[in-house]
Amino acid sequence: MHLDLAQAALASAELDLGYTTIYSPVNGIVVSRNGDVGQTLAAAFQTPILFLNILMVSVTERTREISLRMAVGATRTHILLQFLMEALIMTAIGWTLGVGIGIWIPRLLTTMIGWPTIINIQAVLTAFLFSLVVGLGFGLYPANNASKLNPIETLRYE
């Protein structure tokens, strides 16, 4: 009997968790409503997949260039490092724009309202680490595919 009540209470709490009101710890003002975790997770997985697709298209479109570089002496490591560096550069640009806009817009709005701006350095560093993991993790597969291209075969069909 008690187990059934506890499970029912847990199910109710899980349903209510998706529609939580978040209050600011500084002044108690409502910061967010309907903070659905599922949408946040979906967006967090959508971005790396899009990043992977962009890099795969880049490798596909540049097979001739990769083959020519390999034909004149570039090693698999050179090709792998080239595409990993491109992935990291794209990641750095995305992180810089994201953090820059994420700091600038709240600062602009809080200045207009007259509130202080609070920047959480831990969130900025977490975004940096997440971006780094996405850049390396999702850039490794296309870079590895590019480094495995056979220059003779690809130049024959290009």
By CB neighbour count within 10 A (0-12 exposed, 13-18 middle, 19+ buried), where does 130 fall?
middle
pLDDT at 47: 83
Q: Which domain holds residue 65?
A: 35-155
pLDDT at 89: 95
Q: What does the mean pLDDT of the chain come to?
A: 82
pTM across the whole model: 0.69
pLDDT at 3: 62
Contacts of 31 (CB under 8 A, 6+ apart): 22, 23, 24
Q: What is the DSSP letter of 116?
A: P
93 in a structural domain: yes
Q: What are the pLDDT digits (tens) for 72-83?
A: 999 999 999 999
User: Is the pLDDT at 57 greater than 80, yes or no?
Assistant: yes
User: Is the pLDDT at 1 greater than 60, yes or no?
Assistant: no
pLDDT at 7: 63
8 in a structural domain: no
Q: What are the pLDDT digits (tens) for 106-154?
A: 889 888 888 888 888 998 899 899 899 989 999 999 999 999 998 888 7
Number of domains in the chain: 1
pLDDT at 56: 94
pLDDT at 35: 53
User: Is the pLDDT at 21 greater than 80, yes or no?
Assistant: no
7 in a structural domain: no
5 in a structural domain: no
CB of 56 within 8 A of CB of 142?
A: yes
